[in-house]
Amino acid sequence: MDNFLQIESVGMTFDTKKGEFVALTGINLAVRKGEFVSLIGHSGCGKSTLLNLVAGLLTPTDGGMILAGREIDGPGPDRGVVFQNHSLLPWLSCFENVYLAVERVFGAAEPKSMLRERTHAALKLVGLSHATDKKPQELSGGMKQRVGIARALAIEPKVLLLDEPFGALDALTRASLQDELIRIVAETGATVLMVTHDVDEAVLLSDRVVMMTNGPAATIGEILEVDLPRPRERLALAANARYIHLRTRVLEFLYQKQFKAAA
Amino acid sequence: MTSLAIANRDALTLVNSLPPRAVSHPAAPALAASAASAEHAARAATRQRRARAPEWVREITAYALGLVIFVLIWAVVASISGSIPGPAKVWVAAVNIFSDPFYQKGPNDQGIGWNVLSSLKRVGIGFGMAALVGIPLGFILGRFKFLSDMAAPIISLLRPVSPLAWLPIGLLLFKAANPAAIYVIFICSLWPMIINTAVGVQQVPQDYLNVARVLKLSEWKVFTTILFPAVLPFMITGIRLSIGVAWLVIVAAEMLTGGVGIGFWVWDEWNNLKVDHIIIAIITIGTVGWLLEQALVLLAKKFSYA
Ligand SMILES: Nc1ncnc2c1ncn2[C@@H]1O[C@H](COP(=O)(O)OP(=O)(O)O)[C@@H](O)[C@H]1O
Ligand SMILES: [Mg+2]
């Protein structure tokens, strides 16, 4: 399917105290099934807004979106969201956090033993089988983010939405989680829309990098096809001419064409 | 008054929880400067560390010392005033009273145990009813801004009123001392319960609610797995404040209403001019209040997710 997720002339205008604020305008994007697309742009350009529109947490003031042949109206468990700050419920263990989502989506059709199995499988996928019964506050930032990913994936969403999932992590943890995400996406064939402000992250993980212009009234500036073969190796790519070229293209967009907002 | 007590307690725990290293640090540079030799300073520091008793021994020693000093001051004040009984006399009376705390000689002459229990019972009933009304009301006010705006002037107006000012209304309504005292406890416990619950509901992080929205959880599931646990610590703070105020107020209310109860007992012993018993009552009231507070602090710790 060539346009599994279709965003059609979407615009978002917020009503603020100072009047109307046009955050996004004329966004057109079609994402293929199994594709990994990242959104990159300067802070405040509207990346989170676009992701929240797809998540259904916001309703667009213009245009519409279709996911797997159905119009998106409101949030729903066919989209798995990984929030920027993990958003795990602190009074639930890792298992219970994931189970909450699994139970909601599969609880009507499957017995409890199946639900538990799904939960364990999701935690295993992100390498956290040993931390099943830990509470979020006993985990490192990277581990919390893994639980967030497990929770989003456990419900077998049509599309996985990630909002700067590794933004709050140190560089080493971030790199290992990026590798992990590459592996998970390869294993599950998930369709992914990821917000990031990290150029290397965008190029390393994506099939396409969507570069957004600065707000207000931000829109898609350019789309870069990342034609690097998979599996991708972080170390091997560091010296790869094609990788360096693509990376430079994104940097040029961000720091030459869209320089203003960097101030 | 209660918030002051809590501020004090927090200040105390803050001092207590300073790690030993934080305390010894300021001394270290001073040592280094005076000895002009880093090695010397290091050795001195090691010696100091080795000589130090375990933290809990030092704590207990400090607590005991504080109490001893308090008793000494009391003894001095007693011997100067002449009318206030000293520690020794009170001790003898206390041993006597606590050797049979649950005697019963008619409605107005009962052991101190019965008096404390009947006061606690009033606090329990009054507070329980306040929780039954205040917690749901707090949830509603926290959820609906219009209703909370409606309630704001009423609460602001009534909250600063001393609970005892409600006593005549209670006597008028119930025409009996006991329900009137319970009603006063109800009123004074109500405000902290409503306010803390409402604030808790308003402060449930949007992130948690977004999780609920993305999963499209049912209203009931949202309430049981997100709202209630998120608000629980706030509710426990409300309970702590309520019980604290209630224990302060019950003594005064009972002094006015009579019957059985620790407050009434204080008044009765004043009429009998048994000042040693009044001092025993004061210490008992303080101890019970402290135990209540500790129990609720434990409860709060169990449900904090920091
Ligand atoms: N609920 C809102 N109301 C008003 N303005 C908003 C709201 N959410 C976001 N904005 C504005 O929209 C713009 C884009 O925000 P956001 O999507 O969070 O940016 P990014 O994620 O790219 O940093 C910002 O200028 C922000 O102030
Ligand atoms: Mg953002």
Q: Which bound ligand lies closest to the C-alpha atom of A40?
A: 1
Question: Max CA-CA distance within chain B?
Answer: 80
Ligand 1, atom 9, lies closest to the CA of A49
A201 or B29, higher pLDDT: A201
Band of residue B49 on the pLDDT scale cut at 50, 70, 90: low
The answer to whether the CB atoms of A101 and B216 lie below 8 A apart is no
Could you tell me the CA-to-CA distances from A129 to A133, A135, A147, A172, B227 in Å, in that order? 9, 13, 10, 22, 28
Between the CA of A46 and the centroid of ligand 1 the distance, in Å, is: 6
Q: What pLDDT is recorded for position B44? A: 59
CATH number at residue A230: 3.40.50.300
Q: Do A193 and A217 lie in a common domain? A: yes
- Pick the last residue of a domain from A111, A130, A156: A156
Dump pLDDT digits (tens) for B172-214. Answer: 999 998 999 999 999 999 999 999 999 999 999 999 999 999 9
CB A83 within 8 A of CB B207: yes
Q: What pLDDT is recorded for position A178? A: 94
Dump pLDDT digits (tens) for B62-82. Answer: 999 999 999 999 999 999 988
Q: Note the residue count of chain B.
A: 306
Distance from CA of B27 to the nearest CA of A (A): 34
CATH number at residue B127: 1.10.3720.10
Domain membership of residue B246 as a residue range? 100-302
Question: Considering the domain boundaries, does residue B40 fall inside one?
Answer: no
Between the CA of B201 and the centroid of ligand 1 the distance, in Å, is: 25
Q: Do B148 and B207 lie in a common domain? A: yes
Could you tell me the CA-to-CA distances from A94 to A11, A12, A111, A121, A142 in Å, in that order? 37, 35, 20, 13, 13
Q: Show Cβ contacts of residue A130 under 8 Å, excluding neighbours closer than 6 positions.
A: none
Question: Considering the domain boundaries, does residue B79 fall inside one?
Answer: yes
Which chain B residue's Cα is nearest to A105? B215
B7 or B268, higher pLDDT: B268
Question: Considering the domain boundaries, does residue A123 fall inside one?
Answer: yes
Q: What pLDDT is recorded for position B1? A: 36
Q: Do A117 and A176 lie in a common domain? A: no
- Please name which of A55, A47, A98, A60 lies closest in space to residue A79, comparing C-alpha atoms: A55
Q: Is the CB of A45 under 6 A from ligand 1?
A: yes
Dump pLDDT digits (tens) for B116-143. Answer: 999 999 999 999 999 999 999 999 999 8
Q: Do A116 and A42 lie in a common domain? A: no
- Pick the last residue of a domain from B42, B68, B92: B92
Q: What is the position in ligand 1's atom list of the atom closest to the CA of A164?
A: 21
Question: Considering the domain boundaries, does residue B180 fall inside one?
Answer: yes
Q: Do A116 and A182 lie in a common domain? A: no
Number of domains in chain A: 2
Pick from A85, A104, A137: CB nearest B215: A104
Q: What pLDDT is recorded for position A1? A: 56
- Percent pLDDT > 70 in chain B is 83
- Pick the last residue of a domain from A131, A156, A181: A156
Q: Do B131 and B273 lie in a common domain? A: yes
Between the CA of A249 and the centroid of ligand 1 the distance, in Å, is: 26
Q: Do B200 and B168 lie in a common domain? A: yes
**Is residue B213 less than 8 Å (CB to CB) from chain A?**
yes
- Pick the last residue of a domain from B43, B70, B92: B92
Question: Considering the domain boundaries, does residue B280 fall inside one?
Answer: yes
Band of residue B11 on the pLDDT scale cut at 50, 70, 90: very low
**Is residue A31 less than 8 Å (CB to CB) from chain B?**
no
Count Cβ atoms below 10 Å from residue B44 Cβ, excluding itself: 16
**Is residue A83 less than 8 Å (CB to CB) from chain B?**
yes
Question: Considering the domain boundaries, does residue A44 fall inside one?
Answer: yes
**Is residue B306 less than 8 Å (CB to CB) from chain A?**
yes
Name residues of chain A where pLDDT drops below 50.
Answer: 261-263
Q: Do A50 and A149 lie in a common domain? A: no
Domain membership of residue A118 as a residue range? 89-156
Q: What gap in Å lies between CA A162 and CA A85, rounded to an integer?
A: 11
